[in-house]
Structure formats: structure tokens, C-alpha cells
Structure 1
Amino acid sequence: MTGGGAMRPILDMNAYRPGDSRTDSVERRLANLGAASVLFYRQPIEMAEAAGAWMVAKDGTRYLDFYNNVPSVGHCHPRVVAAVSEQIARLNIHTRYVVDVVDDYLERLKATLPPELENVVMTCSGSEANDLAIRVARAATGGTGIIVTETAYHGNTALVTEASPSARRRGSLPDWVIAVPPPSCAHHGTDIAGGFLASIEAALAEFARRGIRPAALLVDTIFSSDGIFADPAGFLRPAAAAVRAAGGRIIADEVQPGFARTGDAFWGFGRHGLAPDMVTMGKPMGNGFPMAALAARPADLAAFCEGTGYFNTFGGNPVAAAAGRAVLEVIEEEDLQGNALRVGAGLMEQLQSVAARDDRIAGLRGAGLFIGLDLAAPGGGRPDPDLTVRVIDGMRARGVLIGAAGRHGATLKIRPPLCLGADEAGIFAGALEAALREARG
């Protein structure tokens, strides 16, 4: 079901590789982590501190952060720092005790979700949340089949890695996973909703041929690892209806698009007028404090718990709840959703202006402060991951951090902190144009 062309592992894009120049700090990291070490850039950066949308290296170099969606409300936001510090000085324990801050947070979080998602299970990572979501979907439906998109990434547990095509360096997907093309014009032309629905129907038919019952459609609702595909708003609804008609559940992976990033909705699924059966969330929840969650219907969660107990020692601890509550308060009080909408629109206009002057920008898509920018051979030719690496390097040299996405690794994934200012958006656009100009030479 996957499309043609070689897949470029995203973690390999512009990453440190054996044989690159090493500092003592890099040697120390490699000695500690071994083959599991993943470092950005052929000359890795040793970071020392951060605030707002900026990070500072040990050598004093300042970097504008357009890559990390973890510090969603800004690096080291003082409200989150204070909330975590105060709570850890008072009490931090697992969820077998009743602590008001935990239920205060859960009720505030649930107020942002569809009302039928009455239960929230706290975990420590999005990987755990997606792992649990698949297991709940299977228990609730009696099916095992999972549909994902062809360059999806949903986490790194054993179960979720098998449903994350972009995490696989070799081998094929298991029989219970089918990957469909992302909702792009390249695959579906102008009828994104109809084309994506047809792909989902074909996957359901293939499951039937294999004798596998579908359990869920699992999608990152802005399709970030596939290259960021946000529009047209509403295109997910027909595909969701088809999966439900076949007995499956809809799992909205909101680890990247959630918590106001898209600007016109708090959750990525909100842009589609869709109420998922389950919502998973992670990174931005605690602004850097490790926390994640699964929101589900009580009946589905009960079906799972009948056969399997679930307990997470650190998931939902009081310090995590304090961090999460502070994040929700900051988003509301600083109008960061509105800021994402306004500054994101201004940034998109600036990028469109750059694209008008450089025909190697083959596409621009996104919503709010989540934008994908495709780089290709001049005149809109084939995707050019090598150009992408040169641009990433060129922007790093100009003090701007950015990463790649997409099947070919030729899409810049633009997702700065939600506190980004218009002046900082301008810095990014200027650095991009300069890096492109340098890369042409």
C-alpha cells in the first residue's frame, strides 16, 4: 500500500555520523550511549541554557529554535518552572493516592476534549500513550489491524515501532499494519478527502483479504512525519466514517499538532470537525517535563481493563500535573493559540514571498505555527534532500535550528515555540533565504 521511492530516515538527516569531527563532549556521549546515540549536525551543539524561543550553546552562541515542539509555551517558561519547583518541594508520588493537583489538571484537560472522552490515563511518553491506545482499540473492537500513513512515526515501544514506518531501517511491516499514502496532492490530486478515503477503503479491503479485523486508524492529525498536510480542513471525516463502519476506532495522535499549535483549533482533529474515539498526547503537555496521556471513552477503556491491568508509576504524578496545569494556564492567559494563528499567518506570508523568488521551494503547507516547506530541484523537480541538508546547515550557521520531514527528507518541518514573535519569524525567513542563496553557489 505504500508509495514508490526510497524513504529517507528522518533521524539520519543531517545527523552526526561516525567519522565526523569529534570533541571531548561528543566522545563522552558516544561512549555512554553507543549506537543508540542520536546527535544533530556533523558538529554537534553543546547546549547550556534556553529561554522563550532561544537556546544558548556552551560557547555563547544563541540559536533561534524552530525545531523543538517540546517547550511549547517557550523554553524554561517561568510559570512552568515555578509550578514544578513548588510541587516537587511539597509532594511527588504515584497515582495510588488522591492528590488534588492531579484531578484539577485532568478536569481542566478534559474541558478541551470531546465530552465523551471522559477517562484520561496518564503516561510518561507519547510512545506509551500510543502503545496503550492500540491495545485499548484491540480490546474494544476485537480486531488487530492498524492503518497508518506511509511515513508515520508514533513512538518507540516494540508495538508502536511496528506501526511506525519511518522508524524502520529495514524489513517490511507486519501483516496487521497497512500504511497508506499521506493526504497530499501528489497522491490524491485536488480531491484530498476522496483520495484519502479511497486509500483507507483499499486498506480495509486488504485487511478483509488477509482475514484481519481492523482495530483502528492511527493518525498524527497534521501528518507531520509525512511532510505536514493540514488542508483542506475536514478531509479526515469521510475516512474516519469508513473505519468506524468497519468496526474500527479513530486514534488521533496529537503529540505534535496538539495544544494550540495549529492556531485555529486547540487540537489538530478540531480543524476537521472530528471527534476521535481516542486522543494521545505527549511532548508539549509539560513544556519539557516528561508527561503524556491517552483520553478514551469509558466503555473502551473498561473493555481493556477487564483483561489487562494498567498502572504507571510515574504517569500522572503530582509534579507532572502541576507542569501540565501551568502549560494550559499559560496557553490561555498569554493567548498562545491566537499568537500561533497570527504569527503563523505572517510567517507563511514571508515564506511565500521567499518562494516567489526561489523556484527550489516546491511547496508550502501548514496551519498556525506548524508549516512544511518542500525543497526540490530548480523548477519544481524531484525532491532534493541534499539541498535540505545544506539549508539546515546554512541556517544553523546563521543561528537558526530547523529539522526535516517527509518521505524523502526534503521538507523543512517548521514548528517553533508558540510564544514566537513577529520579529523572530522575520529572522527565520531571512536566514532561510540567505541559506538558500548560499546553497545555490
Structure 2
Amino acid sequence: MSLSRSESRQKEKAQREKRRRKTVRLSIAIAGSIILLTGAGLTLSQTGGLPDWLSFGKEQSSSDGLTGSSDDHPQVDANAPSETPGGTPEETPDASDDEAAAETPEPSAEPGIVNEAAEQVSLSFVGDMLPGEYISSIMAAKGYDFPYQQVQLYLSEPDIMAGNLELPVTTGGTPIENTPYVYKGSPDALPAMRDAGFDVMSLANNHALDQGLEGMRDTMKHLREAGIGYMGVGENDKEAFAPLLMEAKGLKVAYIGVSEVIPFATLKADSNVPGIAETYDTTRTVAAIRKAEEEADIVVVMVHWGEDGKDTAEELQRDYARQYIDAGADLVVGSHPHVLQGFETYKGKWIAYSLGNFVYASNPSGLLGETGVLDAVCDKEGDCQLKFNPMHVIESQPIPLEGEPAQKVLDRLTSVSFGVKLDNEGAIVPIQ
């Protein structure tokens, strides 16, 4: 099977950014005109346009050239009128699309990643996503997009945005028994997730089958319909371990999803057995990485592991991460502990042990409330530069931190990292 994504996601992001820039320019033009006319008695014609002090900084990159493919996870265009197996219907050309594509990039002061070279791609990640359960009432009252409103630009600017979907999205399913927490979310939450900027979701976690196989299959179906890629589960182990192949800026990126946390052995995907890609034994994960390395320029492993609530990575996590990198992974990104853990570099490649909770609870306290967006700029050789943007969750919304609160999070992450530090801008660098 082949996953084919049209250029609709790229056009959506370009059009959304175009509308945002026009709104900002209009607001600034009005404010600037009032100030100049009333304060200095000057007109815009006299000044030759907006003054320098109103101009923005350097423009950040948008999601040019985003496509996706995978032999085992077919998807369709989110804007397609109907689901078409193995591909996406042709889109009707729109004059506004050409206008957006032809528009000259303009300066921007917004946060995010700047691609300086043609052969660099910006990849960003968040931790656990639970768009339901604990925040259902908030989303019902304020909209499914409410959790993302304060961090929209962090999510929409990267070429590819990924997270861990920590619940099945289904209107059916049968709740799993003999587990303390059983989750379920509405498929209606997915369009807002897509519109916020998410392109990829790992389903390899301990809640993927909370609503049985029906729930798992519904989740896969609804993600396809929403235009969000996924990996980490399947009808057999071949599908579950298959990489999701994405392409942006001419570079191919393989995403592999695996879990070292599964409630029951019967939930593991195997030959002719549907389920989750497990990594209690790294053999199949290593094989998947080696295969993905042959197909992609950059290999990302998103792994569910570690101890719940512990902010320091365990030796098992460090050992497994090294095995993944030895096999060919360029970037290892962890989830499950529900708190932020540190970072490490090994053989020039990067490990983020846990990105904590992103959209999970309404007002989590202490370490549970710390979150953020991890940015990575990677080249064709899989060499990446990392930056972490610290945030705190308030009423289900991740809120960017600044000043002392931000520094406190960055300093704590440095203290639980291995051989690296986070500077005051969030850049993650080796300790010399």
C-alpha cells in the first residue's frame, strides 16, 4: 500500500500564513498611520511607507513541499470529497493557491525555526496528546482548537510537526479491562489538531487499544480522513513497525513508532496479529530502523518508555536509544513519563528522553505542568541542531514561558541531561 499526500497541507499552511501576515500588516499600518499623523504631523507619503521601527525581523520558513508516504499506512487528502484507497483525488486549481505560492516571503518576528539552507528540514515534536478525557468539558465549551491557541505559530511553522496520540479516537469500541486508566476521544478533535499544524502522530503507546481493535482501527481511519500521518500500530507486525515516510524541502524523513510500555502481551503486534509495535526486545525495532535508513535521509524514532512521573531517564532508556542510533536512527524522541526529561547526544545524534504532557490535563501542577515544543533543524546527513521552547499548561493550554520561569525550566533540564546543556535561548549544545 502507498500513502500519497497532495500539496493541500502545504497550501493550507501557506494560505493561513498569508492571511495572518495581511492582518498583521493592516493592524500595523493603521496604528502607524495614527501615530505618525497625530504625533508628528507626517503622512505616509512623506515617510515613504512604514518606518523602520515597525518592520519585522527575518521571515521564518513555512511548510514548503510537505508530502508523505508509507507502504503500510495509506492516507487520503484531508480536503478530498471522499476517501480513495492508496492516494488522493486531484484538487481543483485555485487562483488563491497560485497567489500564495508566488507571494514573496515577508519578514516575521514570530517564534519557530529558520531554514538557512535548501537541504535542511525543520522537524518539531511535542509529548503526550490527550484531546479528550480530562479536558473534554473545556473543549466542549471553548472549541477543539482551544488547547492550541497560545502556541499556534510554534505548531504551524515547522515543515513537519509530530506528537504522541495517547488515546483512541472513536465513537465505538469496547473498553479494555483490568487497567487503571482507559481513555477515549472524539474524532471531532482531529480536524483542529490538523489545522493547528500537526502532520504526524505516533500511536505506539499503552493506550492505543483502550477501546479494543475497533477503537484502534477507527483511530487509524479517522487520522487518514483528517490528513494526519500515523505509525506504531497495524494489522500485523509488518504494518506496525513500518515507517511513515514524509518528504519536505526535498528530504525524506522516516518516522518509526514503538512502545516499551504495553499493558498486556496480547496487545503486541505480531505475524497476523494486530496490535502495537513493541520494543521490550529491540530486535524488530532495530530491523525497522535499518530498513528505514535505506528509504529515507533522516530516521526518527518516537518511543514510549520510562517510568511514569520520573524526570531522569533510566539506564534502559539510554541503552535502547544507543541501540537505535547504532542501527541508523538520527533522532530519538521519547514520551510516557508525563514529565520533561533531559537530553543527550550519542555519536553526533540526539536523544530527547521525554517531552512530557502537551495537551493532557486542565491545570496540572509541578513538573506535570511543564511542557514545550522541541525544534530540530536537520540536514541530508541526519545531523540536527536542537532547540527547546519551554511552556507551562494553564487550563489545558500550553503557554510559552519567558524570563525567569523559562530559565528555571531550562536549568532543570540541563541538570537531568547527559553531557549537554540548554542555553538561555533553549538551544541544546554539548558541554565542552
Q: TM-score range by the shorter chain?
A: under 0.3
Flag the structure with higher strand content.
2
TM-score by length of 1: 0.27
TM-score by length of 2: 0.27
